A and B are shown apart, each in its own frame.
Chain A
Amino acid sequence: MLTILFDGIAYGMLLFILAVGLSVTMGLMNFINLAHGAFAMAGGYLTVVLMQRWDVPFLWCLPLAFAGAALLGAVLERTLYRHMYRKPHLDQVLFSIGLAFMSVASMDYFMGSQQQIMQLPEWLRGRTELWDGALGMGHYRLFIIAVCAALTVGLQFILAKTRFGSRLRASVDDARVASGLGIRVNLVFAATFAVGSGLAGLGGALGAEVLGLDPTFPLKFMVYFLIVVAVGGTSSITGPLWAALLLGVADVAGKYYMPKLGSFIVYSLMIAILIWRPQGLFVRKGGR
């Protein structure tokens, strides 16, 4: 029972890190980026390549995955995404899904289509059992939870307490007024986009072990990202966090207790929540 809860939380945390960037870009720039998973995949592959070809230690790979994906995000934002901000949503969706397909095809071409397998360092492989096996915690999952919790606190701090955070929130609330006040909205957006992509990359790197990594990653998990964002709402980071945790626990528990229903639990939960609160679980009054 507790083990299931634990596994669910670890899974939820992972989903959160993967999806939080999407939620921010969607809330912030009103831009639907379906290619978000491509950045996660980039981070995952970067880690696998670094570890397998150059024997970089796993802990070093994580910041590198973040940096690599963030760089990729920044470059693409400046060159491609920027032109799409003012386009209608249909154009944005078509553009970004096209990008996702291109990333799938190019990964397939360069890395091959097989599942990538990576070897974790020894100290992350063990497992701790508490209370006579009532709670079993894989060390790697524990590590995921710790990293993701630290990131969440950090993100929340940046958003709420720093000058960049207030600029960001101002730009979200009303980009025109914010730019009138001298905030360089474009730069804020670019930075946020890069950080969001970087977080996805980090999530991809962390998740490669648990979720698997192959070129179809962006499409396979797109649905999950979108559920997290739809259920959590796009105006804060606590919304997607709770949504991701809820989904993670529901998914794992559902599969444990009702394996016959399989992955359907997540969808029924989403439908129920969206009927109850069509704006998402956590939405500020008066927000967009």
Chain B
Amino acid sequence: MQKRFFLRAIACAAVAASATTAMAQDKFKIGLILPMTGPFASTGKQIEAAARLYMAQNGDMVAGKKVELIVKDDTSAPDVTKRIAQEMVVNDKVSVLAGFGLTPLAFATAPIATQSKTPLVVMAAATSSITQASPFIVRTSFTLPQAAVAIADWAPNNGIKKVVTLVADYGPGIDAEKYFKDRLIFNGGQVLDTLRVPMRNPDFAPFLQKVRDLKPDAVYVFVPSGAGAALMKQFAERGMDKAGIKLIGTGDITDDDILNSMGDVANGVVTSHHYSASHNSPLNKKFVAAFEKANNGLRPNFMAVGGYDGMRVIYEAAKATKGAGGQALLDAMKGQVFESPRGPMFIDAQTRDVVHNIYIRKVEKVGGQLYNQEFATIKDVKDPGKAR
């Protein structure tokens, strides 16, 4: 009895398995791996919402195949990301892996992309060297050096010569410090000190006091976005703005997602980034309105735009290959030129990395809400990390 049941179960499983393979042929599957819980859950939320928005706007059929989006939570643990990617490639037979909220998550999964020849679209992680980890990686987010170099170009021309850098002591922070410092010195500026704050830092007081005592023209900041709010508050509380010290940084600290809840302390902060929700273009206005409508008033941030453009790249590539995957799909992703809500962008065919404008923005109050208002543009910034 037991045995018969077992055999029947196997038979069922076999039928089911063959059914899914048959189904797989008329489906185009995208495996979206994101941190949906834990400290980086907002990244996952933004990207998933943007990906679903793109599908809602552009239909779920591409080259005659039904697009299926499989979203999995990796809790921002690299080994989990890798395991999920493996399952997606082997069991679900996805054509594309996408998402990747943080640098280590992308690095952990790179070997799977290479071995299975599955294109991997990085929609969030921003460390320069990610695209070098596998020839199958394409990036639609941004690279930190792009933003860091832009603000280092802007600062010396605007009365900021002496700067102290204050970064979180981890990969992207050190990237942000290095590229900013090199470029600022190249531009004739001066870096008085480079401070690195431990990741689990309870209090910014000593670092900010150090900055204050060094009396720079500005302090350049890179910290994960949640910590940025606390830092800005303490910056204001310490009266640093009154002491004539400006706060500059990459756009991560004035993340659109939480900018409003930071309150007036964020007002006037100058940052450089590739996307602001207030970017003035018809496409972006449409994107922001649709995004807010679909997500209960949530404002899209740079993570969302990375996810949205990532879906665009995948869709267009799939159209070009008529739904085929692997190397052909990857080749169709390279060199795509298009207009994104962030402005014009393209995927560099050689580096598979994103090239786009970097904007210098200032936080201002518009209609009672805080926005990053763009006021200067640096055109077609390639990742400086690849130039070497």
Contact = CB atoms under 8 A, between A and B. Distances in A.
Q: Do A and B come from one complex?
A: yes
Main secondary structure, interface of B, reads helix
Contacts of B26: none
A254 B233 CA distance: 22
A211 B202 contact: yes
Contacts of A212: 202, 226-227, 230
Contacts of A7: 203, 205-206, 209
B263 A114 contact: no
Nearest to B226: A115
A129 B239 contact: yes
Interface residues of A, number: 36
Nearest to B193: A259
A108 B237 contact: no
Most buried by B among A125, A127, A259: A259
B60 interface: no
A259 B42 CA distance: 30
Interface string B189-208: 00000011110111101110
Interface in B286-342: none
A209 B229 CA distance: 10
A63 interface: no
Given A114-B258, A117-B262, A221 B238 contact: no
Contacts, number: 95
A256 B258 contact: no
Interface string B87-114: 0000000000000000000000000000
Interface stretch (B33-41, B116-124, B138-146, B365-373): B33-41
B192 to A, nearest CB: 13
Nearest to B239: A127
Given A108-B38, A115-B229, A129-B239, A259 B203 contact: no
Interface in B153-206: 169, 195-198, 200-203, 205-206
B269 to A, nearest CB: 15
Interface in B233-290: 233-234, 236-239, 258, 261-263
B297 to A, nearest CB: 15
Contact of B200 (A115, A209, A256, A263): A263
6 contacts: A113-B41, A114-B42, A138-B237, A140-B237, A251-B203, A259-B210
The 4 closest A-B pairs by CB, nearest first: A115-B226, A255-B206, A256-B206, A7-B205
Given A114-B42, A220-B202, 7 more contacts: A7-B205, A11-B203, A113-B37, A113-B38, A114-B41, A115-B230, A117-B258
